Structure 1
């Protein structure tokens, strides 16, 4: 039987060697710690940065203890310590099995000692340089635990989260997940339920999740104690607000990050970068950022040096000035791995700031993070580089070879054993979190005028604090890979890490049977030689000629238009828009149209980003989290919500061409999409309304994908801009979709820098009153130095009798528009 005592604001329950501690960091969050040691550890957390205490009430019955705040109630079984969590209305949110649900198995933890005279084996993989220590001594370090946390889920609930993986799972009920960092796995230890609660496991080791024949549980490889948080909210905003109360609010990205980002593997010199940026400007196709992939460092200097090759980039400051003169930003790839005796590697080695392979810097060391940043600053940032692409942030990847993909458990062992060789096994999942922190802290110490933007291949809970956007790794150019992106991106964003993207078109376009991961579907006109040829300077200078790939690329770009970052990237074939035809040709025109639509969406997207950062409202949402009472949404994993208004249904199968440019005959150019209950929906392209709770066969010609707008919504669209800061005073178009009350808050600030943290921003609230058929633009709140004081606003209201249009000059005072055509 567990006995209760209260100690310094914590509830402590003891039964023999078992010790259970509960406290309430917020009114709607309970922290649970369980150990079989005599005391709890007071370890610092890399994930949770706020550990407040609120008071709680305690009641005791014959069989349980009841702990409660104003928003959450926890029942603790006296017999087993099993928890039952309820919301303030008495609804059961989550239960642990009656036998207890919390299990620890004691284990010994060893660490490896590496001598100064050790031999280091180096090599070149498809994914970059690698180094491995060939000799070391394993010594006992401490005792710890394996942990198992069991749940009893309710039959009709849906679960999302745990990050972005490969399988293409949506709702995680009936699924399992292996949680370790790998090229195409970005782990976040957070689960979110359609019943209005979330679970954060404060653990940095290898984990697995099961909701299958083996049971419903979370297993952790190495912990000092079992430490987790259960939080709840009656709305998604309230729910994610609890997560951010623990882990900190997301940092705003620069506004230009929402524009189109052009990348490929790879641009090889300054001339090519400037020519591509200039061609976009000449063609009047919006572009905000161009990306310089790996090997920008000096030829022959070794891998990963954070400075420009003086031959290919003779004047890096002049190059960035020329890009900035075109209003194009530059993102540069940097790596945590340095080999070949480059200057950066030697400096970190001499400072004792490398991991045991003497090639991967120790991101767990504050001093090493500072040194790494200083290298990036003097070699890149001081020359005008605007953003970072922190590649290979796992940072060890051991299975990226061979023709046959290893079995899942084999891959787990290969990759985690490689990481444990150099990193404490309790922390192998959090390298990316600390690496991102180093970049963020470093740049903020250098300037407050430029926001941090860091594209990273791995992630972890809390990484949103550091200006990070995660992409899902080097996936293949196939229709199936595109389909899998949709649910995986939703699971990633469901964790509360809000900014996610993908390589539009897939990274590997061609197929190489010698490598299990290089399995694109399109060889026609691609590189077509050996994988190592992709590392040559001219490897991807031509476009793929296969119209099957052209169609896939258009559909992928249409999907990417509605992601937090719209970015094209890949190897085998160049991705610039003119590789897909010329003006007046269908593929070129479709790509132009979707990039221009992205430009028009920026005011709306920026407001959604601000809502994430200010209030916790998520940008990308699985349908089941927004419509938990609609059972069909739990099975829909190929569509999503952008904000609470736009339902996006990407096209994930070919309609015009198969491989080798073979025309597809008799294909219908429609896409079946589900419109959830409790709302009516408007076709975004035509304005035609549809009832909710039905499946529709939506038109999906090459130039569009199905997009629907929820009734009771307001969209703010701007003009087509060649870059996001162009035409700051131009009119906005406000689209109003009646059927229910609506409110939308337009957020504006300088677009860059951190003055917004000091309150330098403005809010304009648009409110639609359905009963009065009236739109009100409320008085502007706040201001900032470069604010547009007066702007022309054109309102388009989709009334029953047709489209009502009215234009006003908004100067910050209240405006009312009444729609009488009912």
Structure 2
């Protein structure tokens, strides 16, 4: 089967200077394998390098020769030298940092339990480590693929997915044995080479207690940062394994436009090239000269589907779409490929035979790019989907993972050859592969179990800095034993999967080549379609927040999506809440992963200590407890850190590649204070690595009586940066403002949300302040005082929505020409009544609550069917339950 981020200016400047140090721009990807000599302690056959207070490299070599070349995992050992002391007592070498105390018996040979120990200093989670000690508390990493897995169990074999070891452990330490990894040479395009010593030891000890975020930052310093994808990658990706034609893809793209659904990336699967003789049935499948199935590998456009590829790609770019094509390069380059003659000349081949694949052969890979892939890139292919799934290791260099090495080669080639920001889309190859995003998790089975497992799977990947998993949203395939009448998409499952996708690193739908797997949103019933479009729109609205979190991942090593124990390491519940995660610093997400009952899904969510705003109900909850709440089809369990300010896009943004950050919505939530930043850059260049970016500091405070928001002057510069910025401040679930001032000037209310005024939205209970465009270098201060006494709107939006839904249900089951009772009709329209008369908000809310209390009795007095009355009464009763 196919596998398929309080002094405003000072705060901003401080943030810019205290992140991981930005490397200087180089003509090639930066690698600095040799450590600062001041960090090195060498004694005969051993060498210790103090990389950070929490990370020590430990080498043993029989001839006292040590490795300074960068390795697959560790590429930048030249770090600022931390404070440490060295002493020798009774033949034992002691190295002490602020966090660790190492002891080694000099002259005792290879590292062993009897001659080497490291103990912690000052950690609540104390430890003493010796070589060979079992790491029983490891919090896992990630796996290469979810191919044919239903949840974490592989169909057919029953095999449980092995997530391997991550960098984090509840024991507070982790050891990385780098002794067998390959090295990089010093050529312009660094290439793989074997280590000179097979028996040498090269170990890295990470000792951190429960300071999880700090050790991830340390690892990012030494092993390379988690690179930012281009901004467009955070939009919606459409992908389907299907033999699309040029005309069909044009129709597909036009439908996205017709139905008002944003789209940024188009993935064209393997049918873009000739797939002659490809067959899954072993009776008909053919093998090539290299033992591979014929049809998987191809580099020549299928002209029956794409008569003029250059014009096709030009049209897609005219629609402001980025394009990626699928590659399975295992069969090398065959004589029937259009670019075979040029490749054969580059390889010095004259016999007309197929040229076998070898990723570790520099000449081969350079020739493949120069003669085959780069011309396709010049035609308009923006990046590659590298779908390697054949033999695991290089034939030329046994032990070198083909997956790992291909990821490196494709990513760094793009860095060296193009001004655009490097990105590939590929499978996980192992530790160190975090430097080459975005991941493709493979062909998961379409099932609720698969959806339920993916939040945990994605979160643990951050433990190895692999922060950009892209899943086949909706699932990829049915199992062979799925009955024919069940081989179709369950709309509810698909909606819930898309909701997880919107709150995951990459939002990409995909499925196997099966006629019943149609995931175009407009093919679903109206309720499902509305929920799908709503969640995609929310993803685009959140793009500035997500992009800022991506920058923070680059700076700190803390991924966009991560487990709760990063922030609450001493809370046992943070380790048990595997289906929950933090999405950036301010959003806690607990996706719905089970079917609804009676129209809602109940989800229990552990809220960490602190105060949390329920995005669905509009109330603020005290954390340190588990809450159980119900969620309709269009609702996602998302809790916002109380008082947070989220930078968001206005609804007009439909293409992230063209988002210039000239208009920003700042949504300020109730219940606390905020200190955050908005990050901006050009979006699609490598300039973000060497100073071409800007931060804007944001501070706020909001309670039931007042809200203040201060935006600092933008700090930094980048090409194409807009000079002006238009801010809209939104205060959801707010009482009616009594006064609004912007930079000390009073704003008046306007029902049409004109710039220089404020508006109150009755449906969302949101006060909206529209500030005219102004210089982005100019600070902004907004102050709101709410009416006193203020209407109690906490949880009101939930009651409004559920009441409207109950009344709608009642209408469809009324079966009488008589009108509904007046109070029933009015109870369903509170938002509209507030829109018409926002100044009457407290009175309208009071009247609504009175109506809500008597709705069952109002309907009970009618001639409606007894079952209808009873069901309506239960719906209204449920609104008052928490």
TM-score range, shorter chain: 0.7 to 0.9
CA distance in 2, matches of 1:553, 1:349: 49
1:469 maps to which residue? 438
The answer as to 2:368 corresponding to 1:372 is yes
1:707 maps to which residue? 638
Query: Structure 2 matches for 1:113-128, cutoff 5 A?
Result: none
2:501 maps to which residue? 560
Residue 240 of structure 2 aligns to a residue in which SS?
coil
Q: Given the alignment, which residue of 134, 148, 159 partners 2:139?
A: 159
Displacement of 1:627:
0.8
| Contact kept in structure 1, 2:521 and 2:529, CA below 8 Å | yes
| Contact kept in structure 2, 1:746 and 1:765, CA below 8 Å | yes
Q: What CA RMSD, in Å, does the superposition of the two structures yield over aligned residues?
A: 3.8
CA distance in 2, matches of 1:195, 1:777: 42
Q: Which moved more, 1:618-627 or 1:300-309?
A: 300-309
| Contact kept in structure 1, 2:245 and 2:305, CA below 8 Å | yes
Aligned residue pair count: 664
Displacement of 1:600:
0.7
Q: Given the alignment, which residue of 476, 487, 506 partners 2:456?
A: 487
Q: Given the alignment, which residue of 438, 459, 468 partners 1:499?
A: 468
CA distance in 2, matches of 1:620, 1:578: 25
Distance 1:379 1:725, change over 3 A: closer
Query: Structure 2 matches for 1:102-117, cutoff 5 A?
Result: none
The answer as to 2:302 corresponding to 1:309 is yes
CA distance in 1, matches of 2:527, 2:767: 32
CA distance in 2, matches of 1:618, 1:273: 34
Residue 159 of structure 1 aligns to a residue in which SS?
coil
CA distance in 2, matches of 1:716, 1:308: 42
Distance 1:94 1:310, change over 3 A: farther
2:400 maps to which residue? 427
Displacement of 1:76:
4.4
The answer as to 2:558 corresponding to 1:617 is yes
Displacement of 1:522:
6.9
Q: Given the alignment, which residue of 114, 122, 128 partners 1:80?
A: 114
Q: Given the alignment, which residue of 311, 315, 333 partners 2:326?
A: 333
The answer as to 2:91 corresponding to 1:150 is no
Displacement of 1:265:
0.8
| Contact kept in structure 1, 2:49 and 2:58, CA below 8 Å | yes
Query: Structure 2 matches for 1:228-239, cutoff 5 A?
Result: 228-231=203-206, 237-239=213-215
| Contact kept in structure 1, 2:646 and 2:667, CA below 8 Å | yes
CA distance in 2, matches of 1:188, 1:246: 21
Distance 1:623 1:646, change over 3 A: same
Displacement of 1:741:
4.0
Displacement of 1:462:
2.7
2:279 maps to which residue? none
The answer as to 2:685 corresponding to 1:753 is yes
CA distance in 1, matches of 2:160, 2:314: 35
Residue 426 of structure 1 aligns to a residue in which SS?
coil
Cα displacement string for residues 248-280 of structure 1 (whole angstroms, at most 9, x for unaligned residues):
223321111110001111243222222111110
1:649 maps to which residue? 590
| Contact kept in structure 1, 2:643 and 2:673, CA below 8 Å | yes
CA distance in 1, matches of 2:438, 2:501: 14
Query: Structure 2 matches for 1:317-716, cutoff 5 A?
Result: 317-338=310-331, 341-343=335-337, 347=343, 351=347, 361-392=357-388, 394-396=389-391, 419=392, 422=395, 424-428=397-401, 431-448=402-419, 450-466=420-436, 468-508=437-477, 510-513=478-481, 523-524=484-485, 526=487, 544=488, 546=489, 549-571=490-512, 572=514, 573-578=516-521, 580-582=523-525, 585-655=526-596, 666=598, 668-677=600-609, 679-716=610-647
Distance 1:655 1:453, change over 3 A: same
Residue 221 of structure 2 aligns to a residue in which SS?
helix
Residue 160 of structure 1 aligns to a residue in which SS?
coil
Residue 541 of structure 2 aligns to a residue in which SS?
helix
Distance 1:205 1:726, change over 3 A: closer
The answer as to 2:773 corresponding to 1:807 is no
| Contact kept in structure 2, 1:187 and 1:459, CA below 8 Å | no
CA distance in 2, matches of 1:257, 1:195: 36
Distance 1:625 1:758, change over 3 A: closer
CA distance in 1, matches of 2:61, 2:361: 28
CA distance in 2, matches of 1:789, 1:473: 43
| Contact kept in structure 2, 1:166 and 1:484, CA below 8 Å | no
Cα displacement string for residues 523-542 of structure 1 (whole angstroms, at most 9, x for unaligned residues):
4374xxxxxxxxxxxxxxxx
The answer as to 2:57 corresponding to 1:57 is no
Distance 1:152 1:81, change over 3 A: farther
| Contact kept in structure 2, 1:68 and 1:74, CA below 8 Å | yes
Cα displacement string for residues 772-816 of structure 1 (whole angstroms, at most 9, x for unaligned residues):
964321110112332222222222346886765433345221122
Q: Given the alignment, which residue of 284, 287, 302 partners 2:263?
A: 287
CA distance in 2, matches of 1:439, 1:261: 21
Distance 1:642 1:20, change over 3 A: same
Displacement of 1:614:
3.0
Cα displacement string for residues 208-258 of structure 1 (whole angstroms, at most 9, x for unaligned residues):
xxxxxxxxxxxxxx9644423234668655332211211222332111111
1:115 maps to which residue? none
Displacement of 1:314:
1.7
Cα displacement string for residues 682-736 of structure 1 (whole angstroms, at most 9, x for unaligned residues):
1123321111111111222111221111224221111233221456466422122
Displacement of 1:628:
0.6
Q: Which structure has more strand as a fraction of its residues? A: 1
Q: Given the alignment, which residue of 270, 277, 283 partners 2:246?
A: 270
Displacement of 1:465:
2.9
| Contact kept in structure 2, 1:185 and 1:472, CA below 8 Å | no
Cα displacement string for residues 652-710 of structure 1 (whole angstroms, at most 9, x for unaligned residues):
11226xxxxxxxxx575221111112x11111233211111111112221112211112
CA distance in 2, matches of 1:505, 1:395: 25
Residue 559 of structure 2 aligns to a residue in which SS?
coil
Distance 1:421 1:767, change over 3 A: closer
Distance 1:607 1:511, change over 3 A: same
The answer as to 2:771 corresponding to 1:796 is no
| Contact kept in structure 2, 1:161 and 1:493, CA below 8 Å | yes
Distance 1:223 1:267, change over 3 A: farther
| Contact kept in structure 1, 2:459 and 2:563, CA below 8 Å | yes
CA distance in 2, matches of 1:493, 1:223: 31
Distance 1:152 1:306, change over 3 A: closer
Cα displacement string for residues 755-786 of structure 1 (whole angstroms, at most 9, x for unaligned residues):
33342222111123589964321110112332
Cα displacement string for residues 113-170 of structure 1 (whole angstroms, at most 9, x for unaligned residues):
xxxxxxxxxxxxxxxxxxxxxxxxxxxxxxxxxxxx43466xxx6623254665999x
Residue 555 of structure 1 aligns to a residue in which SS?
helix
1:776 maps to which residue? 710
Q: Which moved more, 1:602-611 or 1:772-781?
A: 772-781
The answer as to 2:202 corresponding to 1:227 is yes
Q: Which structure has more helix as a fraction of its residues? A: 2
Residue 485 of structure 2 aligns to a residue in which SS?
coil
CA distance in 1, matches of 2:307, 2:216: 47
CA distance in 1, matches of 2:783, 2:562: 32
- TM-score, scaled relative to structure 2: 0.68
Residue 87 of structure 2 aligns to a residue in which SS?
strand
2:178 maps to which residue? 202
Q: Which moved more, 1:372-381 or 1:765-774?
A: 765-774
| Contact kept in structure 1, 2:666 and 2:730, CA below 8 Å | yes
1:253 maps to which residue? 229
Distance 1:365 1:697, change over 3 A: same
Distance 1:773 1:69, change over 3 A: farther
